[in-house]
Amino acid sequence: MRVARLSGAEAATGSGQEWWRGAVIYQVYPRSFQDSNGDGVGDLLGIVQRLPHIASLGVDAVWISPFFTSPMKDFGYDVADYRDVDPMFGTLADFDALVEAAHALGLRVMIDLVLSHTSDQHPWFAESRASRDNARANWYVWADPKADGTPPNNWLSIFGGSAWHWDPRRCQYYLHNFLSSQPDLNFHEPAVQEALLDVARFWLERGVDGFRLDTINFYFHDKELRDNPPLPPERRNSTIAPLVNPYNFQEHTYSKNRPENIEFLKRLRSLMEPFGAAAVGEVGDAQRGLEILGQYTAGDDLMQMCYAFELLSGARPTAARIAEIFSRVEEVAAEGWACWAYSNHDVERHASRWALSGPALRAFATLLMCLRGSACIYQGEELGLPQAELAFSDLQDPYGKEFWPEYKGRDGCRTPMVWDGAQRNGGFTTAARPWLPVAPEHLSRSVAAAEADPGALLHHYRRAIAFRRAHPALRSGALSQMAAEGPVLRFLREHRQERLFCAFNLGEEPADISMPAGRWVQIGAELNSAHAGADGIVRLGPWQACLARDIGHG
């Protein structure tokens, strides 16, 4: 089935092939968004029910985390059938209804494609492990043991232990960068690439507008299986469990980030192009993330967007840190296109991670909409939801179970969305027990409560997104003269006849800055933008912005 796509008129912003440039994308974690059938798990028809909320934010697209057939060992990131919907989430007809409803609301639909690995219950793997000489024998990464029976090299799994698992059927090891039940596909095998491109084509023909590409830099491995070198302690800066996971003790030179990936990404881009589709790739590398982002998005024949983890980090980003990040982007990714996010399904919610209160949350939301690049916001971020505190007995995430209590896993950012605090389970489900408990501290921050409160963060997100849409310089313009002056981050955005000045006090104390040369008028009053005095000095309160337009430009 092929679903009709958005017309230029239906897409209020970003029509045509470059709709993605500067787009705002809303991420839905389907297990936790809305349950439509009372089984305690969110589903596709639940998303359809809540699409008006997403559209009301003014975003351009919705990214839906995996909903494919899966044993759910890693909650859908272990795919057993790329071309069908897991019964937990509904049916292909439900997905078609979702695409149709989203398009009717002017929303594009991006789905999460997990191409680097499958579930060990995928028919491809069942055939591959059956013998060394079957048609799919080379579809996964198999290797003989060393002479002493140990794994072929020192590569480690992100989820703990060796990245190699012994299989008694073939008397060989297979590679798994994640769970042992998630064997890695062998991208050096041409038939594997063709099969995965066919998967992408299947969903494009079904009406999707793009993909979020999970672990985009993990596709290829070193054919020679060389050992990864050690990573010096001072460079161990992973955003997820850096101190307790030995994965962060290696420089992953050979287990990922391989140069062969570039040609495959070109093939994928060529496939997407006739559909007007776009992709955002997840670059999972704490040391070289921005560099790889630049490599994968340079020019018009690779990926449109990628995101690294610089703004998904643990420490609250200061003005100086953000300026440093963008200086590095200019150095290694000037020809590319970043997608920025503060929160997602893999990291602690930024309200808790950065210990932010209301004014600070508003300032960071406005800043996100003013940075060069596209932007992702994660479900519940618009409500200011903090990280949920869960007991060990409530955990579902294998990562959290492995490293508890030093690292509590990802369940705290995956708890159910709260729609109405007065309803059972916050309006998420009518079931007696949802798959993860609804956080009691979230109930007072529900969508219904926010809608009734004119001062709620939800309304600020709508205003900030609308502000971005109203200014081409923010959506797709150049960024220049970024600098930190104490707690204040300042920069210019420019596109054709529009030149904007943006400054943000990212601190708890007032700060004064001077305006650059130009004929500036204040904009963004609805976002608490500060005025410049007659002397050209702007007096910024804590967490206040200054947003201005140069009326003498152009």
Interatomic CA distance for residues 478 and 102, integer angstroms? 31
Q: Among 4, 26, 32, which residue's Cα sits nearest to residue 438? A: 32
CB distance 80 to 119 below 8 Å: yes
* Gap between the Cα atoms of 479 and 367, Å rounded: 13
Active site residue 411: no
Residue 282 annotated in active site: yes
With 0-12 / 13-18 / 19 or more C-beta atoms within 10 angstroms meaning exposed / middle / buried, residue 495 is middle
130 backbone dihedrals φ, ψ, rounded to 5°: -70, -30
Q: What DSSP character marks residue 164?
A: E
Cα–Cα distance list, 552 to 9, 268, 535 (Å): 32, 44, 18
Tell me if 501 sits within 8 A of 479, measured CB to CB.
Answer: no
Q: What is the DSSP letter of 469?
A: H
Q: What angle (nearest 5°) sits at the alpha carbon of residue 309, between those of residues 308 and 313? A: 165
Q: Are 426 and 420 in contact (CB under 8 A)?
A: yes
Q: Which one of 222, 282, 381, 397 is the catalytic residue?
A: 282
**Active-site residue, selected from the candidate residues 214, 291, 310, 381:** 214
Q: What percent helix, strand, coil does the chain show, rounded to 5?
A: 30, 20, 50
In 3D, which of 56, 74, 53 has the Cα closest to residue 65? Answer: 74
Contact 213, 113 (CB under 8 A): yes
Please classify residue 498 by burial: count the beta carbons closer than 10 Å to its beta carbon, then call 0-12 exposed, 13-18 middle and 19+ buried.
Answer: middle
Q: Are 532 and 515 in contact (CB under 8 A)?
A: yes
DSSP 52: H
Q: How far is CA 178 from the centre of its chain?
A: 18
Cis peptide bond upstream of 405, omega within 30:
yes
Asked if 320 contacts 280 with a C-beta cutoff of 8 angstroms, the reply is no
3 state SS of 101: helix
Contacts of 41 (CB under 8 A, 6+ apart): 31, 35, 88, 89, 429, 434, 435
Instruction: Enumerate the active-site residues.
Output: 214, 282
